[in-house]
Each structure stands twice: as structure tokens, then as C-alpha cells.
Structure 1
Amino acid sequence: MKRGRPFYGVETGVAILDSDIPRPVGDIGNARSFDYPVQYQVVTGVGPKDMFRPRSEKVADGFAQAINTMAGQGVRIAATSCGLLAHYQQEVASRTDIPIAMSSLIQIPVVLRLLRPEQSVLLLTIDAERITPAHLEQSGVGESDRSRVVVQDMAHAPYFLSVIKGTEDDYDSNRALAEVLRAVDEGLGRAPDCGAIVIECTNLPPFSNDIKAHTGLPVWDALTLTDWLAGAVEPRQ
């Protein structure tokens, strides 16, 4: 072991939005969601509201800087705390010193390859209007595959959205779960040949086990992505 790091034993990082919303176990912003150490770096001045605004250099600069700060401290691979960052993937990756996955959406091309050609993927997102062709392109979803991605948002989940947007201080996960499963059912109603679910929002993985049990389908989310990243750098037990 050589000197040169302020601390040791952390290989995986998460560049996290500047926010104080509740983050239960299962959320990427809760360190107990992982079986390995995770280092967080807050992207100061970039919060959830910025995710609903047009693409900006402030966001790209903030995440690139946060990731490089972690890299300078010894972190070897990183994820972020919002799937809507997908359209920053190539730009930020080109400016960081370590591999970075900006969004759980980059799992979609792999998931599509796992399914029969006629099957679709349900993409559960906080806001369907924010999922643009650029988000899918930057995530590696080719134009020929986009018809196989059925996008379902949380438009009819007022309580869950109030928590995520910071207008509700107390978080009742059971109340939110009912809204989440309702959104999933609505999406499956539009995707009868659905073979798998990919979750965009990093605040939804606390419900992934419930979604698996409810639908019987495999579910990929921010935690499955981060676990995959960590598998490349974390020592095997």
C-alpha cells in the first residue's frame, strides 16, 4: 500500500444532487443500500429542480467536477443520483478521470438483448416528457429499438412526487408504494409484451422488490447498475 490518499477502502462513488429529501434504504442516496463502502460527493448548487430544466453547462460542469474530486481521493468508478442525467453521459464521461454511469437507462440496451425480439421494456420514470430521444441515444438505445421501450411516468402519483420535489417533509413509504404500483400497472397495460422493467428514478428502487413481487418481472434500477459498476473494482469476497 502506498501513500497518496486521504482515506482507503472505498472504490465506488456516487455524485449526488444537492438535496435534503428523505432517502430510505434502497435509495441510492442511502449508504445502507449497498453491501460495500460508497463515497458520496454532493454536486453543490445542482438540485432536483435542475433535472426538469433544459440541458445546461452548470449541471455538466458540476457533475464532472464532483466525479473528478472523488477520483482524486481514490474512487475508481462512479454513478449519479438521477436517471434524467442520461443525456449528459458522453459529455461528462469525456471529462472525468474514472468511468461514470450517469443513468440507469444505460442498462436498457443490455436488457433488450436479453429478451425476445417482440418483447418490450417498461421504463418507469418520474416524468415521461423528460425522456427524449437524446436520453435514449446517449444511453446506447438505437433508433430501431426505441419502439420496444414503453415509457411510463408517475403523473398520477401526487404524494410520491410531493416528497421527491421537496414539498412534503414526512415520507410514508406505504402510501407511496400504492402510487408506484398503480403506475406500474398502468404502464403494463400499455405494454402487454413486456419482458422486463427498468427504473429511471433513483428514488424508486426502495420499491423494486415490491415491483418484482407484484409483476413477476425482472427489474433493473440504479442499484443494479451501481452493483455492476462496483463489481469491476471491488475485491471479491
Structure 2
Amino acid sequence: MTSQPQKALGILGLEGGLAPGQLPPPRPGSVFNPATFDFPIIIETVEGAWADRVIPGDSALEPAYIAAARRLIERGAVAISGDCGFSIRHQAAVAASVKVPVAMSSLLLAPTLLRQIPADAKIAVLTADSTHCGEDLLDVDDPAERARVVIGGIEGGALWQNEMTRPPRPTSVAEIESDVAACVLRLREAHPEIAALLFECTMFPMVTPAIRRITGLPIYDTATLYRMTFAAVA
């Protein structure tokens, strides 16, 4: 009897200056570390998708996203997600191009999270660059609901500076945690009614456990999205 190929989650990766097929060094908690999940992941780099193009939004990347998604399907992906929450801009195009579930960004969770917390509470969206994370990326149209979402970013910090170079420079987990913790502190001081955090950046899951311990708040991130998406088809 012929064995069935193992199901895998396909990830549309950013350019990282690596050789074709080469993955970043595995780090604890990284969404690119196979040990982070109890299911296989496969990655296809989106040609030209450097962070300095994806974060501000470059519509010219759409064909490359679609092509990479189709390559993932050919390799056996049963669901597709994105590297970098700002790839949500290509959600509709990629979903229309393949016949498997597509979840390009943890930002897709924002409308759902608003319904998981009290009506007088807020969620905080923490992003790599708040200057490019506008209301159009959140799919929250009701002004009253939109007022319950606060956005903070770590632009200018170590991670942002390193990721905006070509190729990106490595950032230590300690540096990421420092940037994220400082941003969360600022947001909570300004908005004490924050009841949950939503992390946009794919690098943030490496510090999610630490920030969860510091804040005591529920935190949703890219790893959350990957697990949800794969569980739907596993």
C-alpha cells in the first residue's frame, strides 16, 4: 500500500538573503523552527519580498505571492499562511489562487478577539511598524469597535533596524523582548483597559511566553494562527 504524503502547513516567507531551500537557524519558539509545532511546515520564499517592501505595502509583489503559494501546493501544503503580518494585503489574491485555507496574517484575528473580551475592554495590536499598520489592515469597520483597538509598534528599535536591511541582520531574543516589553508598557500605561494583546510580527512568538508572564494577559500571535489554520485540515 502506498503511504500518503504527510500533511504540512505552507508558509510564504520573506527574502532573507539565504540560498534557495535554506532555512534560518532554528531558535526556540521561532515559527521557522520545526520543533515549535507538532506538525510539519514547508517554506517558499516570495521573490522580491524584502521587509522594506512588504511592511509599507508593495502591490507589485502580488504575482510573486501567488506563484509561491502555488509552489507550496505542489509540494503538498494543505493550508497556507504568511511570514510577516503585513502580507495580509495579499490575503484575497492568494486565497483566490489556491484551493486550500489561506491565513496570511495574525491581524485576521482582530475582529474575533474583540468579541472575546468585555465590551468596555480593548485589545492592543503590537506590530513591527505602527506607521504602516492602518485601520485598513484590521477589518474592523464599526467606529465604536475600532475605538477598542490600540496599535503600538517597535519601529526604530533593534529588530526593526535589522529587518529593514538587505539581507537582514540577526536580532537577539533579548533585544526583541526588550523592544516588545517597552512597547507593551507604554500601551498599558496609556490604555489600562487593555485586556488582550495581538502580535503582528512573525518574530514576536519567540518572546510571547515572556511577555505573557510579565503582563498576565492573553496573547495571540503568528504561532496561534498557524496552529489554528493547520488544525482545521489536520
1:143-158 matches, within 5 Å, as: 143-144=142-143, 145-155=145-155, 157=157
Q: Distance in 1 between matches of 2:85 and 2:75?
A: 25
Q: Distance in 2 between matches of 1:54 and 1:68?
A: 21
* Counterpart residue type for residue 14 of structure 2: L
Q: 1:125 aligns with which of 120, 124, 127?
A: 127
- CA-CA distance at 1:212 after TM superposition: 0.4
Listed one character per residue, the Cα deviations across residues 155-187 of structure 1 (whole Å, up to 9, x for unaligned) are: 352x22233224774533223322221111011
Q: Distance in 1 between matches of 2:207 and 2:97?
A: 33
Q: 2:15 aligns with which of 11, 15, 18?
A: 18
| TM-score of the superposed pair, with normalisation by structure 1 | 0.87
* Counterpart residue type for residue 15 of structure 1: L
- CA-CA distance at 1:33 after TM superposition: 2.1
Look up the match of 2:173: 173
Change in CA separation of 1:97 and 1:68 when aligned onto 2, cut-off 3 Å: farther
Aligned length: 226
Conserved? CA contact 2:176–2:204, under 8 Å:
no
- CA-CA distance at 1:9 after TM superposition: 0.8
Q: 2:50 aligns with which of 33, 47, 52?
A: 47
The answer on 1:77 being equivalent to 2:88 is no
Deviates more, 1:211-220 or 1:174-183: 174-183
Q: Distance in 2 between matches of 1:38 and 1:220?
A: 20
Q: Distance in 2 between matches of 1:124 and 1:47?
A: 20
The answer on 1:135 being equivalent to 2:141 is no
Look up the match of 1:198: 198
* Counterpart residue type for residue 11 of structure 1: A
- CA-CA distance at 1:70 after TM superposition: 1.3
Conserved? CA contact 1:17–1:46, under 8 Å:
yes
Deviates more, 1:98-107 or 1:88-97: 88-97
Look up the match of 2:189: 189
| TM-score of the superposed pair, with normalisation by structure 2 | 0.88
Q: Distance in 2 between matches of 1:26 and 1:75?
A: 22
Listed one character per residue, the Cα deviations across residues 19-55 of structure 1 (whole Å, up to 9, x for unaligned) are: 1477633232333322211111111222111113443
Uncovered stretches (5+) of structure 1, i.e. residues with no partner: none
Q: Distance in 1 between matches of 2:15 and 2:105?
A: 17
3-state SS of paired residue (1:94): helix
* Counterpart residue type for residue 83 of structure 1: G
**RMSD over aligned Cα atoms:** 2.2
Q: 2:105 aligns with which of 103, 106, 109?
A: 103
Change in CA separation of 1:105 and 1:60 when aligned onto 2, cut-off 3 Å: same
